[in-house]
Chain A
Amino acid sequence: MTPLESISEKLGATEPWVEKGGVHWLAVGTVNVRKLAQIMNEFHARFITITAYQLPKEEGFRLEYHWDLNGQLLGFSFPLAGNSIESIFDLCEAANWIEREIHEEYSLDFQGREYEPLLLRQGDTSGVNLRDVVAVSEEKK
């Protein structure tokens, strides 16, 4: 069994891995992100980043988590019903800064963690969706 197949089995995924856009994607269904982080730790996968996507209209956000396993880029997508998701910082030290950045730039909350003072834009107000701020300033031009 390959490491990817083992991960899929551990997560109880029903769909196979799909290679698309340079990433091996796995639909994790109802598995939460903390369980995923624990399994990635078991496989000694290296955490890379979280990418936040603001969906059109009022559809909320989607977070994509990426790990590296022996040079293979793994991706897991989590649509957010509200504006929050569980933090993996205590399980994955490397996720600290990117969770703080997404909190500051998109006003999303990572539950179960404390936020230190602003990582980017020190002294500015937290909880502003910077993407909207940039869009408005570009429109004014």
Chain B
Amino acid sequence: MSYKIPMGPYHPALEEPYKLDMICEGETVIDAKLHIGFNFRGIEHLAETRNHIQVIALMERVCGICSFIHTLTLCQSMEGLAGITPPPRALYIRTIMAELERLHSHVLWAGIAAKLMGFKTMFMTCFEIREKIMDILAAISGNRVNYSMNRIGGVNRDITDPQAILKMVEALELEMARTVIPIFTTSRTATSRCAGIGVLTTERAASCGVVGPVARASGLPQDLRRAAPYAAYAEMEFDVPVQPAGDVTARLLVRALEIMESCKILRQALAKLPPGEFHTEGEKFAFITGTSTSRVEAPRGEVMYSVSWKEGSRNPARVHVRTPTYAVMPAIKWMVKGARLADTPLIQASIDPCYSCTDR
């Protein structure tokens, strides 16, 4: 006999509201349906009522974790419409901020995953490390969540002492290499809870169009920083970690390796930070009629913004956002099929879902 187990919209295993209705036979999940929309704010429609400055502040609030990425993608689109190219220093600062955001997002995820594994000490360790990353973000931007860094034509704040930031990054890298990564990759608590569960095959990952670490953990080597470089990524040397297994362990390993790659990028960007302006100074601009599309590799995968403008208009005509979790979340249905009910909180968390992004 089959029966339905609802998880959510409010559940101890979920950081934000969404609902997973699972059809079970005994302890085994045989089918699942997802329901989203609990955070729907109509942000895309609201964007059409904001001017080119207000819309940046609005879109920064799509997501509390990758707020920088959202404004970066939006500003890149608007720069395309205004024909503006930010100065090299701004592109490097954007790269540094984007990688710091990836670090804090991955470490936050590691903490939540540790909590769901029943590994509370690791949860506390991850959050302690995340605080240090937040300190660096605050040192650069003056803010911890919504950084207000991006503007059309560059960034709002400079990095005045890259060597001090570099020292903080090196200390962070050492701590992660010494604690987080070895424990996650070798401890029996982590491996026994993650190996072989929530498998998403390469074929299914491709047909679902998944992105980011989930795609790379299913053997798809896609990363926009490499395939379609933006900001200063074309000048950075880094690897794109790929794991073929498609299970929770693979997702954990991909993110762990990406933490080290982010540190590698940060060291290069801070060492090579070019001199000069960090935004276009006093340059008048006007938006042309048309649509400009920009994509960025956020911590959870590809974010895409399409921004349309009519020449002379105060507000955008349309702002469409495709967030990474929107592409990845439908695949949860395939990951939980055949899984034990007790593993489903960890499986759904393994995609690092962001419901605020998804619902907009």
A residues near B, CB below 8 A?
Answer: 20-23, 44, 46-49, 51-53, 64, 66, 68, 70-73, 75, 92-94, 96-98, 116-122, 130-131, 133-135, 138
Taking A97-B326, A120-B40, A134-B45 as contacts, is the C-beta distance between A21 and B207 under 8 angstroms? no
CA distance A70 to B224 in the complex (A): 10
CA distance A64 to B320 in the complex (A): 11
Query: Is there an interface contact between B224 and A49, defined as CB atoms closer than 8 Å?
Result: no
Query: Is there an interface contact between B45 and A73, defined as CB atoms closer than 8 Å?
Result: no
Query: Is there an interface contact between A73 and B42, defined as CB atoms closer than 8 Å?
Result: no
Closest 8 CB pairs of A and B: A71-B227, A94-B209, A134-B45, A120-B37, A49-B322, A21-B292, A51-B320, A71-B228
Residue among B45, B295, B302 with max Cβ neighbours from chain A (10 Å): B45
Taking A46-B206, A51-B306 as contacts, is the C-beta distance between A134 and B49 under 8 angstroms? yes
Residue of A nearest to B224 (CB): A71
Residue of B nearest to A20 (CB): B290
- Shortest Cβ gap from A91 to chain B (Å): 10
Question: Which B residues, 293 to 334, have Cβ-Cβ distances below 8 Å to chain A?
Answer: 293-295, 302, 304, 306, 308, 317-318, 320, 322, 326-327, 330
Additional 20 contacts, C-beta under 8 A, given A23-B291, A70-B227: A20-B290, A21-B80, A22-B77, A22-B80, A22-B293, A46-B206, A51-B320, A71-B226, A71-B228, A73-B293, A75-B293, A93-B330, A97-B326, A117-B35, A120-B40, A120-B359, A121-B40, A134-B48, A134-B49, A135-B49
Interface majority SS (helix, strand, loop, mixed), chain B: mixed
A94 proximity list for chain B (CB < 8 A): 207-209, 327, 330
Taking A48-B209, A97-B330, A134-B42 as contacts, is the C-beta distance between A119 and B80 under 8 angstroms? no
B residues near A, CB below 8 A?
Answer: 33, 35-38, 40, 42, 45-46, 48-49, 77, 80-81, 206-209, 222, 224, 226-228, 290-295, 302, 304, 306, 308, 317-318, 320, 322, 326-327, 330, 359
Query: Is there an interface contact between B304 and A49, defined as CB atoms closer than 8 Å?
Result: yes
Query: Is there an interface contact between B37 and A121, defined as CB atoms closer than 8 Å?
Result: yes
- Shortest Cβ gap from B8 to chain A (Å): 12
Contact partner, B208, options A20, A23, A93, A117, Cβ 8 Å = A93
Query: Is there an interface contact between A46 and B209, defined as CB atoms closer than 8 Å?
Result: yes
Query: Is there an interface contact between B37 and A122, defined as CB atoms closer than 8 Å?
Result: yes
CB pairs A–B below 8 angstroms (16 shown): A21-B292, A23-B293, A44-B206, A47-B209, A48-B302, A48-B304, A49-B320, A49-B322, A51-B306, A51-B318, A68-B222, A73-B295, A94-B207, A94-B209, A117-B35, A134-B48
CA distance A25 to B290 in the complex (A): 13
- Shortest Cβ gap from B205 to chain A (Å): 10
Query: Is there an interface contact between A21 and B49, defined as CB atoms closer than 8 Å?
Result: no
Query: Is there an interface contact between A118 and B295, defined as CB atoms closer than 8 Å?
Result: no
CA distance A22 to B140 in the complex (A): 30
CA distance A50 to B42 in the complex (A): 17
Query: Is there an interface contact between A64 and B40, defined as CB atoms closer than 8 Å?
Result: no
Residue of A nearest to B230 (CB): A22
Taking A49-B304, A134-B46 as contacts, is the C-beta distance between A21 and B290 under 8 angstroms? yes
A52 proximity list for chain B (CB < 8 A): 320
Residue of A nearest to B291 (CB): A21
- Shortest Cβ gap from A34 to chain B (Å): 16
Taking A20-B290, A21-B291 as contacts, is the C-beta distance between A53 and B308 under 8 angstroms? yes
